[in-house]
Chains A and B, each alone.
Chain A
């Protein structure tokens, strides 16, 4: 198994949590040693620790079967953990049943009650708790999601995007301690999904509640959440702000699942406090020691395709340090904002290069000899024992 990841969100920024104390756990959600094992022996979630500060927006990101949905359902009270505790706002809620928890869920397929109209769907939770002022609260909530004119329609009469907003409103109106979103945008088309991502994020900032969002779509996770937990095989592989995860992945799974990475085998030559130098198929390259996540004498040298510069042989590229000659362009895809190259290296591996379409450099053609280079500070180095293809296919969500 990959190394069990960071387990506390101590480094995670929580901009929308002004009242969160140090460590951010006072009013937040804390999962400790949470484990879910099914009767058939499959362990969906394995000894998971997670601290979600109040008012933050966390995304659980991972491929199907990674345990993210099971984690969410345990928080909702829809699944009983095999072991471990769930604490919310200082109270242990592990043994409370779903209807007794101040937690609400936006379900994957919305789960709107087909026999009730929109108004009654939204009012459902308030009525169960015998809250006063149902009328004004529901009206206000429907206005927030811009559905006030649809109050008396039934769910089946609404479009997918509208149903999605009803599901959100139905959960939000209860002002839960934590709002759980279970792949809430999966059924929407790309354009609508983009606008809903922004919409949900806006609402989260507006209401200031804790949101926990489950998704397999890395772009969605990075767009919406301020903290992303990448899950794989029932454990959190890495936790952090989107940019941090992307720039400094600690495992091959994270490197491949979040965006794409070139992983090239290298042998460690020397380590200092600042820089680790490696031999990469006869070329000496350096990686910041702070981004070197292996103690072994070999490692995967990782570099994101858009960080790689491509030039003619002998060209002077603005990337002192790591220059790799001898590449031959084997494929060119022009995608508008950029050109994506595959470059076959002397050692046989094909590297990906994304070149921004700034107009300052010319396009290369298949068969041309080129030179690649990148700034050392963008590179990272991972444990050679990890599978270089981990998370590659899972990341292709669209």
Chain B
């Protein structure tokens, strides 16, 4: 018995930590079915599907959600494209200032969000654009902080790519363009998709930077922030649960697809 325990001690402890990270998640899921007795009482008073059936009961919440989705989608798109190009440049090309470029990519990740947000705000104010704070400034900020994460993800995927594969393609009569589209790109694609998923969740989740640069717009995290004093509607938990399920589905599907590819026809 002790031997069994000693053998599995680390695993059990690890699973314990994992379980701890799921306690708040479990509460979120649970509360999405809650029927609160009053608006700002946070106890589980009764089971209901009401919140799931009426997600947009509070129109402001859904408006904020829509904005977050739009920003998240656009920021992901732009950051993924620019970041992928930069990732290729950094791994596959030699140019003056390559190490400065690497530093430039690294720094935004080393800066606390509050610093990034206040810097941008002072720029927009100095440029006389404080009246224009809103959708576009949020988008600019989100692309900025997602960019570095995309570059880093794509860069490491590319660096891990065995370059003899590209040599083999060239050896087998593939022109540089064919080598790129038939060998390099398909092999880097999972990294790019991962980077996009990461971008989206960073963008969707950001509060600190957005709050400083949003003008009169309200994103989903800002809505939660604003609503929590008066009592957050239970639908917020529904959104949290949906986000969780959605991303789990994406990740698990991705993993299963790549496994099936590896194992097919065994």
Contact = CB atoms under 8 A, between A and B. Distances in A.
A51 B162 CA distance: 32
Contacts of A194: none
B41 interface: no
B171 A153 contact: no
Contacts of B168: 105, 107, 111-113
Given A99-B175, A125-B172, A128-B172, A153 B264 contact: yes
Size category of the binding interface on chain B: 20 to 34
A170 B262 contact: no
A142 to B, nearest CB: 15
Nearest to B263: A157
Interface string A111-135: 1111100000000110011000000
A103 interface: yes
Nearest to B168: A111
A179 B182 CA distance: 23
Interface in B165-182: 165, 167-176, 178-179, 182
B183 interface: yes
Contacts, number: 79
A5 B37 CA distance: 96
A114 B173 CA distance: 18
Interface string B211-252: 000000000000000000000000000000000000000000
Given A152-B265, A157-B262, A109 B170 contact: no
A77 B164 contact: no
A228 interface: no
Contact of A99 (B171, B187, B262, B266): B171
B265 A113 contact: no
B6 interface: no
Given A99-B175, A153-B265, A154-B264, A111 B165 contact: yes
Given A152-B265, A157-B262, A78 B183 contact: no
B53 to A, nearest CB: 44
Nearest to B262: A156
Interface in A72-90: 76-78
A227 interface: no
Contact of A115 (B164, B176, B187, B263): B187
Given A78-B170, A124-B169, A124-B172, A111 B162 contact: yes
Contacts of B266: 153, 157
A275 interface: no
Interface residues of A, number: 30
B93 interface: no
Nearest to A182: B164
Contacts of B173: 99-100, 125, 128-129, 174
A268 B66 CA distance: 97
A103 B262 contact: no
Contacts of B164: 107-109, 111
A384 B264 CA distance: 63
B171 A113 contact: no
A98 interface: yes
B263 A114 contact: no
A281 interface: no
Contacts of A202: none
Nearest to B174: A128
Interface in B82-125: none
A164 interface: no
Contacts of A109: 162, 164
Given A114-B187, A157-B266, A98 B167 contact: yes
A104 interface: yes
B224 to A, nearest CB: 41
A21 B262 CA distance: 49
A97 interface: yes
Contact of B167 (A78, A128, A129): A78
A367 B224 CA distance: 92
Contacts of A99: 169-176, 179
B186 interface: yes
B187 to A, nearest CB: 6
A107 B170 CA distance: 12
B183 A105 contact: no
A242 to B, nearest CB: 28
A76 B178 contact: no
A244 B197 CA distance: 64
A337 B115 CA distance: 78
Interface string A167-194: 0001100100000000000000000000
B172 A170 contact: yes
Contacts of A152: 264-265
Contacts of A125: 172-173
Contact of A124 (B174, B175, B187): B174
Contact of B172 (A97, A104, A114, A156): A104
Contacts of B263: 157
Interface of A: 76-78, 97-100, 103-105, 107-109, 111-115, 124-125, 128-129, 152-154, 156-157, 170-171, 174
Interface of B: 162, 164-165, 167-176, 178-179, 182-183, 186-187, 261-266
Q: State the 3 A-B residue pairs at the shortest beta-carbon distance, nearest first.
A: A125-B172, A98-B170, A111-B168
Given A99-B176, A115-B261, A153-B265, 14 more contacts: A76-B167, A76-B171, A97-B170, A99-B174, A100-B173, A104-B171, A104-B172, A105-B168, A112-B168, A115-B186, A115-B187, A125-B173, A128-B175, A152-B264
9 contacts: A76-B171, A78-B170, A98-B167, A105-B171, A111-B168, A115-B261, A153-B264, A157-B266, A170-B172
